[in-house]
Homo-oligomer: A and B are copies of this chain.
Amino acid sequence: MSALWCAFSGQATRCRPVVQSAVSQRSLSGTCARAAAAAAVYKSPVRVDFYYDTISPYSWLAFETLLRYRPVWNLEIQFKPVFMAGLSQATSSNFLESLTKNQNKTRHMFQDIVRMGQYFKVPLRIPESPFYMLAVVGSLKQQRFLTAAQMKFPDVTEDLSRSIWYRGWAEDLDIAKPDSLRMIGRRAGMSEEEVEEALAASETQEVKDRLKSVTREAVDDGACGLPFLVFHVNKGDTDVETYFGSDRFPVIAHRLGKFMRQFKLEIEVQEWMDDLEWNGPVPDPNNFKEIEEPAEISKCFLSIEQYDELNQKFVDNVKQDFNIKDK
């Protein structure tokens, strides 16, 4: 039963301080962005449309890397949560099917995800039942919640995205049930009221349509999987370069440098050239705060079990849902 507590509690106790400091950077990232903008005010930012689904671990890698390079390359990132299964259907991609058929591919991908996480300094773990997560649970609930939250409270998008990935791909906990989303939202720095508002909105036709239309937009922009990145290299829509995956950043740096050489004013070129390098997954070690490893699952459960410390509301919910009588 302890597993349930962990999965359902929005207000975990000993778990929470570790995780929250690691995940929520809502105010911090705002400050960073402002400072970077001031330093780079003479340059035109490069707009990037970042299509992603929080069920995709490679999307998490690209997400963190983009954020780290945002001040360095002066990126203006448009976060575009899409629904992966919808994208797969629209592009006739058979990603999940290929994983079940080609066992070598599956085995290799899980190794790759862990190694890439270590290299990129993102605490990725393979869930105990990745196919259950990917194919049964899916991402509809999370992506609708994220879309609703983004529409109502745009500045929460980054922390909320990270918080979903963290819960699913670092902690291996449920990510789709309402109480999981409550916990995720609170960890991302949302107030209880904001969370409830986003949760309610996530079931509206407006939000469902929005998620569909952004997914459609990704397909129209050429997405063949996630993450998918669209760089608007000349500020307009005419000079667009698209990238799939989390492993093309060296090429992106190389290409952005070329474009800058072509389009930017001479006087700015040298500085751009210096900046537009790929310096590995952590471009600025001095300003880098590593995301903390999640607590061991067993320790998490242990602390959660002391449920008298939990917010009574969530305890009551769970008791009611699972018909648990007080002793």
Contact surface of A with B, Cβ cutoff 8 Å: 91-94, 98, 101-105, 107-109, 111-112, 115-116, 118-119, 219, 222-225, 242-244, 247-248, 250-251, 254-255, 278, 280
In the assembled complex, which residues on chain B have CB atoms less than 8 Å from the CB atom of A92?
101-102
In the assembled complex, which residues on chain B have CB atoms less than 8 Å from the CB atom of A102?
91-93, 224
CB distance from A71 to the nearest CB of B (A): 22
Consensus secondary structure, chain A interface: helix
Complex CA gap A225/B101 in Å reads 13
Contact for A104 among B222, B248, B254, CB less than 8 A? B222
CB distance from A234 to the nearest CB of B (A): 17
In the assembled complex, which residues on chain B have CB atoms less than 8 Å from the CB atom of A225?
105
Complex CA gap A105/B116 in Å reads 22
Known contacts A102-B92, A105-B225, A107-B222; A112/B247 CB under 8 A? no
Q: Is the CB of A119 within 8 A of B254?
A: yes
Known contacts A93-B102, A104-B219; A112/B224 CB under 8 A? no
Copies in the complex: 2
Complex CA gap A109/B105 in Å reads 19
In the assembled complex, which residues on chain B have CB atoms less than 8 Å from the CB atom of A278?
280
In the assembled complex, which residues on chain B have CB atoms less than 8 Å from the CB atom of A254?
118-119
CB distance from A324 to the nearest CB of B (A): 45
- Nearest 3 pairs between A and B by C-beta? A105-B224, A104-B224, A92-B101
Q: Is the CB of B219 within 8 A of A112?
A: no
Q: Is the CB of A108 within 8 A of B242?
A: yes
Contact for A115 among B94, B112, B255, CB less than 8 A? B255
A-B contact pairs, 12 of them (CB 8 A): A91-B103, A93-B101, A94-B94, A94-B98, A98-B98, A104-B219, A116-B251, A118-B254, A119-B250, A119-B251, A250-B250, A250-B280
Known contacts A105-B224, A222-B107; A248/B91 CB under 8 A? no
Complex CA gap A104/B101 in Å reads 22
Complex CA gap A92/B225 in Å reads 20
Q: Is the CB of B224 within 8 A of A108?
A: yes
Residue of B nearest to A103 (CB): B91
Contact for A242 among B91, B111, B242, CB less than 8 A? B111
